[in-house]
């Protein structure tokens, strides 16, 4: 009788541990971002950094960050199969390249205009592609 109780207790313990592990794995999978989401969050952070550096008058950092954005969006855009997403992403790349050039020349006004145009392209993509789904 003791062996049966011990065996049943062990089985119940194993089932409880497995159920808990499955719940933890399920929760981890739910919070894991897709690669596109990670990319968009990185771009959003980069735009925030660009605006912060522009406000601080750190044109060197603005130029570097804009050049990084231009390179990333060009690389990503060339791989896209959706023609609209490809066009918008490559347009962001060109705007970021222009932003970097303007920052190198310390043209704050042009940098602000280009950053606004980049934000508008982001909004366009969200409206036409992301939010449409």
Residue with tokens 């550096």: 53
Geometric angle at alpha carbon 40, from 37 and 41, rounded to 5°? 85
Do 124 and 132 contact (CB within 8 A), yes or no? no
Do 63 and 100 contact (CB within 8 A), yes or no? yes
Residue with tokens 């409206």: 127
Return the pLDDT at 3: 78
- Spatial distance between the Cα atoms of 27 and 127, rounded to a whole number of angstroms: 29
Per-residue pLDDT of 99-110, as tens digits, reads 999 999 999 999
User: Taking the alpha carbons of 31, 46, 79, 83 in that order, is the dihedral positive or negative?
Assistant: positive
Return the pLDDT at 30: 64
- Spatial distance between the Cα atoms of 39 and 21, rounded to a whole number of angstroms: 29
Question: For the chain, what are the domain ranges?
Answer: 1-32, 35-130
Per-residue pLDDT of 24-80, as tens digits, reads 777 666 667 788 888 899 999 999 999 999 999 999 999 999 999 999 999 999 999
């Amino acid at each position: 009788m003791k062996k049966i109780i011990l065996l049943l207790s062990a089985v119940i313990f194993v089932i409880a541990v497995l159920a808990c592990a499955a719940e933890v794995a399920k929760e981890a999978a739910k919070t894991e971002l897709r690669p596109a989401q990670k990319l968009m969050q990185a771009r959003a952070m980069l735009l925030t950094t660009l605006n912060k550096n522009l406000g601080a008058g750190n044109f060197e950092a603005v130029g570097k960050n804009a050049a990084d954005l231009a390179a990333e969006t060009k690389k990503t855009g060339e791989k896209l199969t959706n023609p609209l997403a490809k066009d918008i992403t490559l347009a962001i790349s060109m705007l970021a390249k222009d932003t970097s050039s303007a920052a190198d020349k310390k043209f704050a006004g042009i940098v602000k205009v280009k950053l606004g145009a980049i934000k508008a392209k982001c909004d366009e993509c969200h409206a036409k592609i992301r939010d449409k789904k």
